[in-house]
Chains A and B, each alone.
Chain A
Amino acid sequence: MDKSTTLAKSNIPQSAVKKRSLRALLAGSPARLKLRLMGVEADKGLLFRVFLYLLLIDVAFIYLKPVLYMVTTMVKDARDLLDPAVIWVPSGFYGGHLAEAYKALNYAASFTVSLSVAGLVSLFQVVSCAIAGYAFARLDFPFKKLAFGALIFTFVMPPQVTILPSILLFKELDWINTFLPMVVPALFGHGLKGALFVIIFRQFFSTLPKELEEAGRIDGAGAFRMFYRVMLPISRPAVLVVFLFSFVWTWNDSYFPSMYMFGAENVPLSVGLAKLNAMLSAESEAGGLRFFVEPLKMAASFLIILPLLVLYAFTQRWFVEGVERTGIVE
């Protein structure tokens, strides 16, 4: 105890502790001083606060830097790119790279594909995974333990184990080069990370009070009415979290589309970026004349994540709060 007090004292004059709080601190006895500085839980002391802000700002900077780099690089014109004095703030706005990336990605068509795939998949997954999650959490059915084992198994299994037979299966069904192979499994609660979403819903539903259902049951409601009238309306946080995860992951995923849609005319944006990269490297190998590959790539990346950023900007409020209330686990 003594040791930590002296430690705390020696740390007082450190930069960011403000003068006013310093005086308030010194007024108390050493024990109170220590309490002030170190706090009750590990997260309430003043020293901790300073440390907290420093650390958070640091990490936030790490997260934001690539984004800033992306945005500033893509609007630099040739003069800015060559000028070593221009690093973060370009001297003007140059839209050429954006326009080029827009054309190279075939943006309008690819955007439509991406939007319809991600939109449909996330919509289907929300509904189907909620139904399955509800069954796992609250209902009784034969082989429930076995089914739950299968769910965990699906979660752990790398999709690559089943990808080749799936390709053959979808080839039989004549679904290759359409987006059906991504969308139809979602309808059944599978598809990209489907098992995880079922688990999230299961955890959420099992935290809800049992009384809800008992009241409904006394009123004579069947499981279906219970689900649509009582469970679904109160599970908005879980729905939002799953919807956003599903949308974002499907939007970003380039693995399944590149496996199922390799010959399609219009590919999702995520595949478009890979194609653009391949094109650029082929060009540079052939001794192409392109000077500025970087800004073009950055512009393409920006165009791809722009819709996600817009979506996130609109939903982040509910999302951030929803996550707290989902009790994603347990």
Chain B
Amino acid sequence: MNLAKLRITSATTRRKLEGSLFIAPWAIGFLVFVAFPLAYSLYMSFQQVRITATGINTTPVGLLYYREILFADGGLLYDDLVPFLREAVLMIPIILIFSLLTAILLNVRFGGRMIFRVIFFLPVIFASGQIIQEFIAQGEGQLIILQGSQLERILSDYVPRSWGEPLRSILGSFVLVLWSSGVQILIFLAGRQTIPASVYEAARIDGADPWSTFWKITLPGLSPFLLLNLIYTVVDLFTFPSNPIISKVTTENYGVSSALAWIYFMIVLLFLGLALLLYRRASRSMGIGAIR
């Protein structure tokens, strides 16, 4: 019995050893390329950093930079952050709904589906790069329908300015919203495959109509993917290099930049937490997620 026990423990240690070997490269990478820079940037955010020929000189300044950014000078953070957050709040639901609907459409069997899928995956290729900036810059971001409509006037008349402005800028670059939902469409499409056809079959036999089938089967089945897409969209939107706050993290002033990056990171986390909370509330009240 003792021997058997010994064999079991040696088997588990062997398993653990193998597991450790597999994770070792990633863990080392994490320590060197993530944990160390992270700790160092936190340290730098409390320091005045001067890069000289001989090395790096730091003088502790305490919370000075944080105070400066948060309270003294609004130019660095708030001027860009507030409109950006408003835009994000509007953009995230639009991206999610659009990609959900598109994925459902692309899942239907119809002639030429392959061609459409190829086209709809194009954003994955373009959207991460500078090319997309070019497209927006030359006005290709606008929907043509909106140019002739009265929408601008209606917006300026009936929506408060602080929200009308981001709303207009979203409508102005609505195509950008479509372009940044490439990966989300992929995820939903992959997720749709996990709902077995037999469930739909059963619903049909029970005489469920399409409307309730969507709400009772498709949407709850996709809710884990909705959550994943929510996280992905928030992360993607907030780490996009052309994002106004991120472009202010420069090598000019290490201390201020580090403090700004950390404040921004906290805002991202806060926003993500808030989004998750809202998601949970919404899914509970709608009864989504009950199935899984």
Contact = CB atoms under 8 A, between A and B. Distances in A.
B268 to A, nearest CB: 6
A282 interface: no
B129 A164 contact: no
Interface in B9-67: 12, 15-16, 18-23, 25-30, 32-38, 40-41, 44, 56
B125 interface: yes
B105 A132 contact: no
A168 B25 CA distance: 22
Interface of A: 4, 38-45, 48-49, 52-53, 55-56, 59-60, 62-67, 69-70, 128, 131-132, 134-136, 139-142, 144, 147, 150, 154-169, 185, 187-191, 194, 196, 198, 222-224, 227, 245, 248-249, 251-255, 259, 270, 273-274, 294, 297-298, 301, 304-305, 308-309, 312, 316, 319-320, 323-330
A40 B210 contact: yes
Interface of A is mostly: helix
Interface of B is mostly: helix
A45 B30 CA distance: 51
A249 B126 CA distance: 9
Contacts, number: 274
Contact of B190 (A144, A297, A326): A326
B157 interface: no
Nearest to B225: A329
Interface in B154-201: 175, 178-179, 186-187, 189-191, 193-194, 200
Contacts of B26: 128, 131-132, 135, 147, 188-190, 198
Given A59-B178, A158-B261, A304-B131, 18 more contacts: A40-B200, A44-B108, A53-B110, A128-B25, A135-B23, A139-B23, A142-B20, A159-B239, A162-B41, A164-B37, A187-B25, A223-B15, A248-B128, A253-B241, A255-B241, A320-B121, A328-B186, A330-B191
B38 A158 contact: no
Contacts of A157: 34, 38, 265
Nearest to A258: B241
B128 A160 contact: no
A262 to B, nearest CB: 9
A185 B33 contact: yes
A131 to B, nearest CB: 6
